[in-house]
């Protein structure tokens, strides 16, 4: 662009010195004026949604900036004795002013477009931050939805064992401490390994086994290859709690938990004796734990999970099965 201006002025003034000096003056002066317009727009037009009056003012400022450039160039030209070939007021002032005004107007349009885009991005970032904070608060609330009946019953069980079997009571206290530590750690570390999740779950299962004794039979099978997989903390804890809460204990409650790999995906299967329909009918709030699980799946595994809850019949043996398949690593919202 500068080379074109030099050639144009060389043809106009037939002077190398005039062409070089006027070009060398024009670009710094235009840059300073553009910077001044930028500062003015920043202070006067904080709202990037321009009104008609602001557009008129912007055009006027661009014309004024173009006239300033031409006036300063004319002053230098007259002082140095450089004259334009066949120069007339139209060629000497009006046309150059129009050309520079259009250049400043184009720069102003670019400035407002960039300012609008930056404001849009800032608003998107602000909304994303607000949504993330709300989502983080929601996840923490979901993580805090412990079963109060379980805690009360566990403490009552400890109290009952304290006098007759103090060693058993101490063991139950340790398991309860391990379980609660795991739950509270999830507020700081929402993503853990399957092995860490199993540690907290095993403490929960031992407490339930101590509470119900021979009325409960629990089996836990974990594929060693799945132990190092990351998983959202306490994600399938509500499903295990449901198995104990709504499972059929009329004779003996059987709870089976299997964690394995299905290709690259993590597969969790939880089965318990009982009927799905009767459990829902007995407790209308049965769906709260499932809502917790489904909501967390949407957050941590968006579009990458499969969850089914169904009833199985096998030669008079009725069982409820929850199957969870998780693909990829969980998203974190901490």
Task: Please write the tens of the pLDDT for every residue from 23-77.
Answer: 677 777 777 888 878 877 777 776 656 678 878 888 888 888 888 877 887 777 7
Q: Report the chain's terminal Cα–Cα distance, integer Å.
A: 51
Can you give the residue range of the structural domain that contains 71? 2-126
Whether 230 shows a pLDDT value over 90: the answer reads yes
Whether 7 shows a pLDDT value over 70: the answer reads no
Clarify whether residues 219 and 292 are in a common domain.
yes
Residue 263 lies in a domain: yes
Nearest CA to 332 out of 188, 205, 214 is that of 188
pLDDT for the residue numbered 49: 65
Question: Where is the domain boundary, 76, 94, 126?
Answer: 126
Say which CATH number the domain at 209 has.
3.30.565.10
Whether 269 shows a pLDDT value over 90: the answer reads yes
Q: How many CA atoms lie within 13 A of 1 on its CB side?
A: 4
Weakest mean pLDDT among 22-36, 211-225, 312-326: 22-36
Clarify whether residues 224 and 298 are in a common domain.
yes
- Our count of domains for the chain comes to 2
Clarify whether residues 117 and 200 are in a common domain.
no
Residue 134 lies in a domain: no
Nearest CA to 143 out of 105, 188, 77, 198 is that of 188
Longest dimension (CA), the chain: 118
How far is it, in rounded angstroms, from Cα 253 to Cα 214? 9
Clarify whether residues 35 and 169 are in a common domain.
no
Quote the radius of gyration of the chain (alpha carbons, Å): 38
Average pLDDT, the chain: 78
Question: Where is the domain boundary, 68, 94, 126?
Answer: 126
Higher-confidence position of 304 and 78: 304
Question: Where is the domain boundary, 85, 100, 126?
Answer: 126
Question: What are the CA-CA distances from residue 309 to residues 163, 268, 272 (Å)?
Answer: 42, 12, 12
Clarify whether residues 57 and 197 are in a common domain.
no
pLDDT for the residue numbered 12: 61
Residue 136 lies in a domain: no
Whether 21 shows a pLDDT value over 60: the answer reads yes
Whether 8 shows a pLDDT value over 70: the answer reads no
Banded pLDDT at 164 (limits 50, 70, 90): confident
Whether 266 shows a pLDDT value over 90: the answer reads yes
Sheet with 253-262: strands ordered across: 216-222, 253-262, 265-273, 317-326, 305-314
Clarify whether residues 25 and 170 are in a common domain.
no
Q: Mean pLDDT, to the nearest integer, of 276-286?
A: 55
Banded pLDDT at 314 (limits 50, 70, 90): confident
pLDDT digits (tens, 9 = 90+) for 91-100: 667 777 888 8
In this prediction the pTM is 0.58
Clarify whether residues 99 and 156 are in a common domain.
no
């Amino acid at each position: 662009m500068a080379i074109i201006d030099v050639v144009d002025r060389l043809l106009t003034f037939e002077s190398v010195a005039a062409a070089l000096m006027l070009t060398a003056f024009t670009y710094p002066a235009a840059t300073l004026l553009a910077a001044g317009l930028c500062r003015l727009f920043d202070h006067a037009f904080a709202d990037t949604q321009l009104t008609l009056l602001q557009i008129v003012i912007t055009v006027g400022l661009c014309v004024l900036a173009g006239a300033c450039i031409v006036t300063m160039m004319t002053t230098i030209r007259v002082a140095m004795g450089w004259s334009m070939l066949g120069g007339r007021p139209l060629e000497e002032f009006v046309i150059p002013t129009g050309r520079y005004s259009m250049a400043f107007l184009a720069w102003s349009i670019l400035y407002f477009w960039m300012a609008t885009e930056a404001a849009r991005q800032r608003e998107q970032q602000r909304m994303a931050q607000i949504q993330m904070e709300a989502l983080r608060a929601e996840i923490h609330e979901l993580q805090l939805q412990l079963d109060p009946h379980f805690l009360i019953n566990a403490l009552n069980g400890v109290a009952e064992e304290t006098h007759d079997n103090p060693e058993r009571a101490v063991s139950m206290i340790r398991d309860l401490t391990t379980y609660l530590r795991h739950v509270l750690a999830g507020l700081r570390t929402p993503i853990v390994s399957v092995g860490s999740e199993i540690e907290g779950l095993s403490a929960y299962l031992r407490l339930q086994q101590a509470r119900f004794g021979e009325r409960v039979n629990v089996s836990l099978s974990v594929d060693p290859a799945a132990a190092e997989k990351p998983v959202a903390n306490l994600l399938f804890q509500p499903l295990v709690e449901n198995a104990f809460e709504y499972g059929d204990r009329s004779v003996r409650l059987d709870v089976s938990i299997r964690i394995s790999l299905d290709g690259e995906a993590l597969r969790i299967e939880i089965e318990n004796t009982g009927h799905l329909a009767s459990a829902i009918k007995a407790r209308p709030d049965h769906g709260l734990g499932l809502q917790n699980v489904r909501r967390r799946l949407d957050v941590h595994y968006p579009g990458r999970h499969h969850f089914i809850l169904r009833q199985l019949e096998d030669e008079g043996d009725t069982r409820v099965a929850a199957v969870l398949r998780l693909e990829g690593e969980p998203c974190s919202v901490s």
